[in-house]
Amino acid sequence: MTASSTTASSAVTQLPDDYVQNPHEVHDLLRSEGPVREVRMPHGLKVWFVTRYDEVKTALTAPGISKKVVGRVRHDALTEHIVFMDPPHHTRLRKLVTKPFTTRRVELMRPRVEEITAELIAKFADGDVIDLLEDFAVPLPVTVICEVLGIPLAHRDDFREWSNQLLNHGTEEEVQAATAGMADFLHEHVRTVRAAEPDDTFFSALVHATESGDQLTTEELVSMAFLLLVAGHETTVNLIGNAVLALLRNPGQLQILRDRPELIPASTDEFLRLEGPINIASFRYTTEPLELGGVTVPAGELLMVSLLAANRDPERYENPDRLDVTRSAQGHVGFGHGIHFCLGAPLARLEFDVALTQLLARFPNLALAAEPETLVWRDSTLIRGLHTLPVRLA
């Protein structure tokens, strides 16, 4: 992609077909041309694309922005959860959902997360070549989130397949089948949990949570479980994978964490900043004209807000393309910003901390088992993650 992609007549920049493989170069160009640009996505959709840090934060919090998808999205199971809601409905649901999802409850999960991680690592031996994603980064958060929701692990592969179809641009038939399959299962699961006596598990607390006599409906619970299952493991899978790849490409930084593992919890912010698991945040629409850095986006337009681009804005972070595990990367938007900030961020941080700490302690000489240029990123503008990450354990 070059500057010539923008024409004076159309003022629309065509993103290259391989955009998801090389987004940072594209973001640098767009950012140099302005805080927000009208672009045409590789699949043909025309949107307003926001890349600069300050304007991204504005777009994530501006009152003239809506996330309601009624009439725009065909999948009923997606229409009732907080990602696609505006206040006051979002405010009500967020308050109910947040009650059982406290930092204290998440921290109480640490021993179990450590146990699951240790069990996974115990299956590996020095010299093994594994796909770090499928063999480690996927089963850890999937096991955790299934336990959080009280779902038998026998369904783990089903959820992974459904998630892949929903997030990786499956065919219309595949997406409909995945949505229906997950929704049918979760409806039955919600009915079972609601009929049982409340216990100390997270999903039981969510099902029975009340606020001034208010309670989540069955449809709201199904959609929330749907969101937690998909987002609750995809975020952590790709946070782990992207971080390990960044470390293997930067052996000096890897050595720092080997020598000082106590830095791993704080380094999470740098990994989220450098190559976070979300590229473009979920859809937003302007309900009124919106000014972003001197550019006016008309009402009724689709906004694509790139968290990945904002986190590498040189006006916000010095040497933004360089990994520095000692950097203070606070203020990044890797988990979003504003009222839609990721609900599962504390759990993702916990899982990442435990996973990377145990992995580097057991295999300090971890090495990439493929040429970097052969690695392929998933075909998704939402998720930033690899298809596979072959590594040699030592």
* For residues 384-388, average pLDDT: 96
For 280-293, how does the pLDDT look when each residue is reduced to its tens digit (9 = 90+)?
Answer: 998 899 999 999 99
- The whole-number pLDDT of residue 33 equals 93
Q: Residue 185 — left, alpha, or beta (φ > 0 → left; ψ -120 to 50 → alpha)? A: alpha
Tell me: pLDDT of 42 over 70. yes
Q: What are phi and psi of 386, to 5 degrees?
A: -85, 155
For 113-147, how does the pLDDT look when each residue is reduced to its tens digit (9 = 90+)?
Answer: 999 999 999 999 999 999 999 999 999 998 898 88
* For residues 350-376, average pLDDT: 96
- The whole-number pLDDT of residue 2 equals 41
- The whole-number pLDDT of residue 79 equals 53
* For residues 308-335, average pLDDT: 97
The CA distance from 162 to 174, in Å, is 9
Nearest residue to 322 via CA among 237, 235, 252, 239: 252
Nearest residue to 338 via CA among 394, 282, 271: 282
Instruction: Provide the pairing of β-strand 284-286 with 302-305.
Output: antiparallel
Asked if 20 and 27 touch (Cβ cutoff 8 Å), the reply is no
* Lookup: tokens for 25: 């170069």
The CA distance from 273 to 253, in Å, is 15
The CA distance from 344 to 233, in Å, is 10
Radius of gyration of the CA atoms of the chain, in A: 21
Tell me: pLDDT of 275 over 70. yes
Nearest residue to 103 via CA among 343, 356, 372: 343
- Looking up tokens 């480690």 gives 136
Residue 59: partners with Cβ closer than 8 Å, 6 or more residues away: 36, 50, 65, 284, 290, 292, 303, 305
Task: Name the more confident of 303 and 199.
Answer: 303
Tell me: pLDDT of 319 over 90. yes
- The whole-number pLDDT of residue 7 equals 31
- The whole-number pLDDT of residue 243 equals 98
Task: Name the more confident of 92 and 371.
Answer: 371
Q: Look up residue 345 and give its amino acid.
A: A
Asked if 304 and 55 touch (Cβ cutoff 8 Å), the reply is no
Tell me: pLDDT of 315 over 90. yes
The CA distance from 145 to 351, in Å, is 11
The CA distance from 89 to 219, in Å, is 14
Q: 60-69, 282-291, 322-331, 377-386: which has the minimum mean pLDDT? A: 60-69
Sheet holding 129-131, edge to edge: 129-131, 390-392, 367-368
Task: Name the more confident of 183 and 48.
Answer: 48
Q: What are phi and psi of 131, to 5 degrees?
A: -90, 105
Q: Alpha carbon 196 to chain centroid distance?
A: 32
Q: Alpha carbon 385 to chain centroid distance?
A: 9
* For residues 299-325, average pLDDT: 97
The CA distance from 235 to 391, in Å, is 20
Q: Alpha carbon 352 to chain centroid distance?
A: 13
Task: Name the more confident of 379 and 309.
Answer: 309
- The whole-number pLDDT of residue 72 equals 44
Instruction: Provide the pairing of β-strand 295-297 with 290-292.
Output: antiparallel
Give the chain's end-to-end CA distance (angstroms, integer).
40
Tell me: pLDDT of 8 over 70. no
DSSP 112-134: HHHHHHHHHHHT--TT-EEEHII
For 73-113, how does the pLDDT look when each residue is reduced to its tens digit (9 = 90+)?
Answer: 444 554 556 777 888 888 888 888 877 677 788 899 999 99
- Confidence grade of residue 377 (pLDDT, cut at 50, 70, 90): very high
Count of C-beta atoms within a 10 Å radius of residue 139: 21
* Lookup: tokens for 207: 């099902």
- The whole-number pLDDT of residue 149 equals 84
Q: Look up residue 160 and give its amino acid.
A: R
* For residues 357-361, average pLDDT: 98
* For residues 63-77, average pLDDT: 63
Q: What SS3 class is residue 86?
A: coil
Instruction: Provide the pairing of β-strand 46-50 with 36-40.
Output: antiparallel
* Lookup: tokens for 382: 């939402």
